[in-house]
Amino acid sequence: MFIDKVKIYVRAGDGGKGCASLRHSRLRRFRVPDGGDGGRGGDIIIKVDPNLKGLLDFRYRQHFKARSGACGGSNKKKGKNGTPYILKVPRGTIIRDIGSGYVILRDLTNSDEEVVIAKGGEGGMGNSGRRVATQGEVGEVKEIELELKLIADVGIIGFPNSGKSTLISNISNARPKIASYPFTTLAPVLGVVTFDDYRDIVICEVPGLIEDAYLGKGLGHSFLRHIERTKILVHLIDMAPPRDRDPFSDYKSLNRELKLYNPRLTEKMQILAANKMDLSQAEANLTAFRSKVNKRVFPISAVSGGGLEELVMAIKECFYEGEVFQGRKENSS
């Protein structure tokens, strides 16, 4: 199960009480205050764990509390500080404070990042050097939203059953479920494409994009957020769709969903890949599609592997060399 948005409740540890103690001395007529300070309460820390892929750990447990500081002791003994509570999340997690109107506290995009989201209370003062001991401060309490946006260099988008799972499995190390029915993939899939020069890119398959996905129809609304961080989109278009669909209509419809969800998505570099060219009707559909689109189109067959080498090299060229394919129409030859 893939979980990419959760609400949790965190409470930092309270500060320990300061000690009120009087020490008797043979050299003094009156007893001397010698109470120590209380320990500081533990913080709530969120830290990136690069091995995590989702927020499933928070589905069945949403309340977290750090240890409070220990009370101070006599003879000016300071109480032990409370142990901080460390919550581990995947890279790409956005932390929002619900109580402050969903203000973003931190966007964790690096593998070694961590942030204190709730501070422990300061320990109380002992009566050493003063007449009255004090209580420790209360630790911070917050309601937090964690939202995961996968960090990938390239996102593969397309209508259900257009061949996205087959494509990512044949060009990367990803091994998604592949079947002949729609919505086979129920969660974003990440894979790594490694080139001969040892450079690599992270590629993401985004499932469930259909018409009106931006309104929450199908699975698209849940996963559109995962392509917001990508630099390049590979738009996979089925050149042998069912009779009630047309490749160019699918192309326009999906770009409309991107625009309605977030207009900035339509500004991303987009590589068009015409899939299923091994089928008989695909060639005629590709000719008609090219006549309507003023962009370069890469004909491929994700099943047989035809055209995949050219597509992967185009992705590398765009990502590492910044070559733009927008507005570049392939010659008829």
**SS3 of the chain:** CCCCEEEEEEECCCCCCCCCCEECCCCCCCCEECCCCCCCCCCEEEEECCCCCCCHHHCCCCEEECCCCCCCECCCECCCCCCCEEEEECCCEEEEEHHHCCEEEEEECCCCCEEEEECCCCCCCCCCCCCCCCCCCCCCEEEEEEEECCCCCEEEECCCCCCHHHHHHHHCCCCCCCCCCCCCCCCCEEEEEECCCCCEEEEEECCCCCCCHHHCCCCHHHHHHHHCCCCEEEEEEECCCCCCCCHHHHHHHHHHHHHHHCHHHHHCEEEEEEECCCCCCHHHHHHHHHHHCCCCEEECCCCCCCCHHHHHHHHHHHHHHCCCCCCCCCCCC
User: Which pLDDT does position 191 carry in this prediction?
Assistant: 85
> Does 332 reside within a domain?
no
From 87, 117, 148, the end of a domain falls on 148
**Does 170 share its domain with 314?**
yes
> Does 327 reside within a domain?
no
What Å distances lie between residue 213 and 190, 227, 242, 260, 262, CA to CA? 21, 14, 20, 9, 12
**Does 168 share its domain with 133?**
no
**Does 168 share its domain with 278?**
yes
CATH number at residue 189: 3.40.50.300
pTM: 0.70
d(CA 20, CA 33): 7
- State the residue range of the domain holding 99: 5-148
> Does 302 reside within a domain?
yes
Question: Under 8 Å CB-to-CB from 317, ≥6 apart: which residues?
Answer: 323
> Does 44 reside within a domain?
yes
> Does 26 reside within a domain?
yes
Domain count, the chain: 2
**Does 127 share its domain with 252?**
no
User: Do 191 and 174 contact (CB within 8 A), yes or no?
Assistant: yes
> Does 23 reside within a domain?
yes
> Does 132 reside within a domain?
yes
**Does 79 share its domain with 137?**
yes
**Does 79 share its domain with 189?**
no
User: Do 300 and 311 contact (CB within 8 A), yes or no?
Assistant: yes
User: Which pLDDT does position 283 carry in this prediction?
Assistant: 93
User: Which pLDDT does position 331 carry in this prediction?
Assistant: 36
User: Which pLDDT does position 4 carry in this prediction?
Assistant: 82
Q: What are phi and psi of 259, to 5 degrees?
A: -65, -40
**Does 117 share its domain with 222?**
no
Q: Exposure of 291 by Cβ count < 10 A (0-12 exposed, 13-18 middle, 19+ buried)?
A: exposed
User: Which pLDDT does position 330 carry in this prediction?
Assistant: 38
User: Which pLDDT does position 282 carry in this prediction?
Assistant: 92
From 148, 179, 207, the end of a domain falls on 148
User: Do 36 and 22 contact (CB within 8 A), yes or no?
Assistant: no
User: Which pLDDT does position 45 carry in this prediction?
Assistant: 97
CATH number at residue 48: 2.70.210.12
**Does 242 share its domain with 301?**
yes
Spell out the per-residue pLDDT of the chain, length 333, in tens: 568 889 999 999 999 999 998 887 777 777 788 899 999 999 999 999 988 878 988 988 999 999 999 999 988 899 999 999 999 999 899 999 999 999 999 999 888 899 999 999 999 999 886 778 899 999 999 999 999 888 888 999 888 888 888 899 898 876 655 545 444 555 678 888 888 777 788 898 887 665 654 445 555 556 677 788 888 999 999 999 888 789 999 999 888 888 888 888 888 889 999 999 999 889 999 999 999 998 899 999 999 999 999 999 999 888 876 644 443 333 333
> Does 124 reside within a domain?
yes
d(CA 333, CA 289): 16
User: Do 8 and 76 contact (CB within 8 A), yes or no?
Assistant: no
